[in-house]
Amino acid sequence: MSSASVVALKPVRASDKRIVNGGTDVNQLAPFKYTWAWDKFIKANANHWVPTEIGMGSDIFDFKQKLSDADKHLFTNVLSFLSTSDIMAMRNIGLAIMEKITAPEIQAYQARQIAEESVHTWTYQHCIEVLGLDQGEVYNRYRVIPEIHAKIAIAARRLESVLRPNIDLKDRDELQNFLMAYTFFAGVFEGTWFYNGFTPVFALQRRGLMKETAEQFQYILRDEVLHAEFGLQVVSEIMAEENIRLDPVAWRTMWEECHAAEEDYMNYVLPRPMVGYSASQHMEQFRYIANRRAREVGMPEVYPGAENVLTWLDEQAIIKKEKNFFETRVTEYQRGSALSWDDEEPGADGTPSP
């Protein structure tokens, strides 16, 4: 084909871009329209970490020698829920959301998000393996324990509703469903279930227990804060561009269903309060964070008057990689089940105190 037979295309203008239903070249990154998305992509890349950078020696000792049966019940069930959840978050962005996005700067961040979700999944697997837990038993809890399964089932249903590749987002009903699914994953799943979901382990950390797992979870939480902010901003931008609002009845129903599932889950993993933390406090914090997510998409607060009863939770996301991980990186570790235990606590391995 000669160059003379190739029809010249019009240049891409930033103002012509749309997050969905766009007609510009999806392969052309710039000129940017959504500079905030590119800024978050740069920020996310600066936050890169992997779980093997953090030693787990004192956590192995804590789990074997210090945790009560109630503490172990709490810790392992939280780990079970999280280990399945980040797989679903990865599939949601990678298989259900990205292909329907028509702005490459949005997709760039989402590609980074997929990578982060896989690192989070690796982190849970790393903790399970290092602590010598029965992997099959822990991973299967979401299938056999109703209180864990209920949350996963809600997420699976909403994921399945947008996995279809042939969804026409010019159809207002399909667009509404897409927005609700995206809002669920950004606002509830990551923005509330995940955001609050690390709290049980942080509560152990505040008692001087499982500090290294808690540090890993702090890095995950930092990622999830960006995921939630990004996803809800995408939802807001789509609503503005497409002149559509979230259905208020569907919005209320979503939160009521997710609140009920979270309450059952917390009553199962924490049937009795521990020092400084209880299921009732967790649920009040859930409601407080839910109101925050509502404001981020311009919706009325779901639980007016909910209070910030766990004031230390937001601080957990403020963590920087200040130590030299190339000096402290763990190059070898033994599985917890292969170690012998004595009455002496192993020396600290450099994990900073919270």
Who's near 346: CB < 8 A, 6+ residues apart? Answer: 57, 58, 60, 61
- The amino acid that residue 199 corresponds to is T
| pLDDT of res. 314 | 83
pLDDT in tens, 167-221: 999 999 999 999 999 999 999 999 999 999 999 999 999 999 999 999 999 999 9
Mean per-residue pLDDT for 218-244?
A: 95
Decide which of 334 and 97 is more confident: 97
Model's pTM, two decimal places? 0.86
3-state DSSP of 266-300: HHHHCCCCECCECHHHHHHHHHHHHHHHHHHCCCC
| pLDDT of res. 352 | 32
**Which among 43, 35, 128 has a CA at the least distance from the CA of 78?**
128
pLDDT in tens, 316-326: 877 665 444 33
Q: What is the phi/psi pair of residue 87, to 5°?
A: -60, -45
| pLDDT of res. 3 | 60
| The pLDDT of residue 336 is above 50 | no
Decide which of 328 and 57 is more confident: 57
pLDDT in tens, 286-317: 999 999 999 999 999 999 999 999 999 888 87
Mean per-residue pLDDT for 252-256?
A: 97
Sort 11 into a burial class: Cβ within 10 Å, 0-12 / 13-18 / 19+.
exposed
